[in-house]
Amino acid sequence: MNGFNDKIVSMAVTKGSRIRRDHTPTVLFQTRVDPAIRAVVNQAAAASGVSTGIYLEALLRLTLADQGHLPVLDLIRDPKEELLIPAA
């Protein structure tokens, strides 16, 4: 095995349930993403045989296990950066 399935946690007992079979509490985690990214994640989750939520949770859990933390991404422009706005 690749270790992925070892880290997958049980899904909710019924659709929409907040408690999983192993009684692990869950919280809602929503975000908006590019439709192309969503499609790729949905495909990967389906190929893994789990829901998108379980897939993303497992992916984050594996990253934490491998690296000890999630990466810090430099995604925000420098607030001091000037925007190029043409003069009137």
List for the chain the helix, strand, coil content (%; round to 5): 40, 5, 60
Query: pLDDT tens for residues 6-18?
Result: 555 555 445 555 5
Report yes or no: 20 and 65 within 8 Å, Cβ to Cβ.
no
Report yes or no on 76 lying in a domain: no
Report yes or no on 59 lying in a domain: yes
Report yes or no: 62 and 1 within 8 Å, Cβ to Cβ.
no
pTM value is 0.63
Confidence at residue 13, expressed as pLDDT on a 0 to 100 scale: 46
Report yes or no on 61 lying in a domain: yes
Report yes or no on 83 lying in a domain: no
Q: What is the CA radius of gyration of the chain?
A: 18
Report yes or no on 45 lying in a domain: yes
Q: Is the pLDDT of residue 21 over 80?
A: no
Query: pLDDT tens for residues 22-75?
Result: 788 888 889 999 999 999 999 999 999 999 999 999 999 999 999 999 999 988
Structurally, the chain folds into a number of domains equal to 1
Report yes or no on 87 lying in a domain: no
Sign of the CA dihedral 54, 60, 65, 66? positive
Confidence at residue 1, expressed as pLDDT on a 0 to 100 scale: 45
> Whole domain around residue 15: which residue ranges?
5-67
